[in-house]
Structure 1
């Protein structure tokens, strides 16, 4: 497999990508910090972006992978590159480099990046590692496009705070459920039933697969936050982001008196306004845990 790399400009990225696309059956990769900068300065609400991403070099990298003998296309490609420089000077400097890379089966190799996550007596286990599971409470997960494999700090914070609760016989809600890891862990910990909610249908498909892996059945809804819920719950789990959590205005009505709310996905600089908001809804802080910049909150309805 031949890796073809072109260094160009933000303005020239599309035309260079179009050129390299002619030589790649798998498409092209464009690494352009300018795209993110445009989004960052737009009206979109961003909860968190790594500073290192924003500080990437302004030079744009366009990458294509050619599956064949590079000598068959080298002369033609170089000729097209020189013509492009001449006719479209805004693409310059347009440096071209070529290297050979080992071809790998990424349909399987991505699995090696996932490992068993342990939080107390709970283990979150990728399904292909189920034979390695040794915990008292095992949650099997087939990581898909949905958020929630136990790898992220906010998920681990929620799982850790869950250990503070006796979930036996409790009715719980996992909103913004993603893969369903929190609700499945709650059911594994003795919860009577769990309502799973997410606005992303693809996430819910992944959730249903994970419920089946754990031989569980539960109510699943494609819906936002706690909207339209009329029955009270003993515990609500919400691992989303601070700006979305601030919109969960009816949490005080859904969580029953003496019940609990477990929240994460909160960056430390957004914690205090969110805490004040929920205190005004009638919640009191029971426990706070942190992992780097991430904060997890366990609150009780007074």
Structure 2
């Protein structure tokens, strides 16, 4: 028997930053996946999890600066592929990396990553994922032990392994992301990447040379002390999932735990920063 989802088509003005705030709030209410588009976003929730009052207390809907309308319809889980195939296009990061779906033609690049995102985050299209991929391309991973925290589709761990990482762990609290990462690491011949379902409590007693964490501001601020404790001396921490105005708070938290800001990338107000110990 197929699971029945509700698809909400949100029309958002202005699209930024209202869509990002809306997505974050919906994620807290049980919505499992999102597809961004030029007019706003599509959001998906299991019909069994939906209640008529679910949207009543959304902060973003009460803001006079944003105009948000929506319609909804039922969609069966097996129809999901058709939905994201319409919106998922291959992307290039620099000259040497391509992130594509299985139905896209392969091109001659150094790092050809095949991702089937399903209900997971991390196709490379969002600014934060794109910038994290840029960081990886510009970093030496040869022989390094790597953690991809909040791995989504596993795309960051996959590129790290392709770049010569000795070992890689990928962790996500979401079951969809966990299962999807398992599929994607196998699809990219990176089956030796260890994928786990859970949160930062899984890091107890573990050490890494490089930690990649593309999550969100609040979780990063909460978990930076754990990341710092899990980083080998001379290691690097790459963070993303926050805006430029949050950089000072993130950097202050890192500094309080012995991590020095080195550089950051910026794309459409989103930031990805590197810290070293």
Q: Give yes or no for TM over 0.5.
A: yes
Which structure: greater strand fraction? 2
Counterpart for residue 103 of structure 2:
128
> Equivalent residues in 2 for 1:283-302 (5 A)?
283-301=259-277
Q: Does 1:275 align with 2:251?
A: yes
For the residue of structure 1 that corresponds to 2:229, the secondary structure is helix
Give structure 2 stretches of 5+ with no counterpart: 1-46
Q: Is the 1:232–1:254 Cα contact (8 Å) retained in structure 2?
A: yes
Quick one: which of 164, 167, 181 aligns to 1:193? 167
What TM-score, normalized by structure 2, do the two folds share?
0.72
Counterpart for residue 6 of structure 1:
none
Counterpart for residue 138 of structure 1:
112
What TM-score, normalized by structure 1, do the two folds share?
0.66
Give structure 1 stretches of 5+ with no counterpart: 1-26, 42-48, 66-104
Q: Is the 1:117–1:151 Cα contact (8 Å) retained in structure 2?
A: yes
> Equivalent residues in 2 for 1:86-125 (5 A)?
107-108=81-82, 110-120=84-94, 121-125=96-100
Q: CA deviation at 1:252?
A: 1.4
User: Equivalents in 1 of 2:116, 2:210: separation in Å?
Assistant: 25
> Equivalent residues in 2 for 1:1-302 (5 A)?
36=55, 38-40=57-59, 54-56=66-68, 107-108=81-82, 110-120=84-94, 121-129=96-104, 131-217=105-191, 218-225=193-200, 227-248=202-223, 249-301=225-277
Q: CA deviation at 1:189?
A: 1.1
For the residue of structure 1 that corresponds to 2:156, the secondary structure is helix
Q: CA deviation at 1:297?
A: 0.2
Change (3 A) 1:39 1:216: same
Q: CA deviation at 1:162?
A: 1.5
Q: CA deviation at 1:221?
A: 1.4
Q: CA deviation at 1:294?
A: 0.3
User: Equivalents in 2 of 1:64, 1:147: separation in Å?
Assistant: 22
Q: CA deviation at 1:54?
A: 4.0
Change (3 A) 1:254 1:213: same
Q: Is the 1:264–1:297 Cα contact (8 Å) retained in structure 2?
A: yes
User: Equivalents in 2 of 1:288, 1:146: separation in Å?
Assistant: 26
Counterpart for residue 94 of structure 1:
none
User: Equivalents in 1 of 2:178, 2:172: separation in Å?
Assistant: 7
Q: CA RMSD in A?
A: 2.8
User: Equivalents in 2 of 1:227, 1:134: separation in Å?
Assistant: 38
Q: Is the 1:37–1:54 Cα contact (8 Å) retained in structure 2?
A: no
Greater C-alpha radius of gyration:
1
For the residue of structure 2 that corresponds to 1:157, the secondary structure is helix
Q: CA deviation at 1:55?
A: 2.5
Q: CA deviation at 1:262?
A: 0.7
User: Equivalents in 2 of 1:53, 1:125: separation in Å?
Assistant: 36
Q: CA deviation at 1:204?
A: 0.6
Q: CA deviation at 1:226?
A: 5.5
Q: Is the 1:241–1:265 Cα contact (8 Å) retained in structure 2?
A: yes
Q: Is the 1:125–1:133 Cα contact (8 Å) retained in structure 2?
A: no
Q: Is the 2:81–2:118 Cα contact (8 Å) retained in structure 1?
A: no
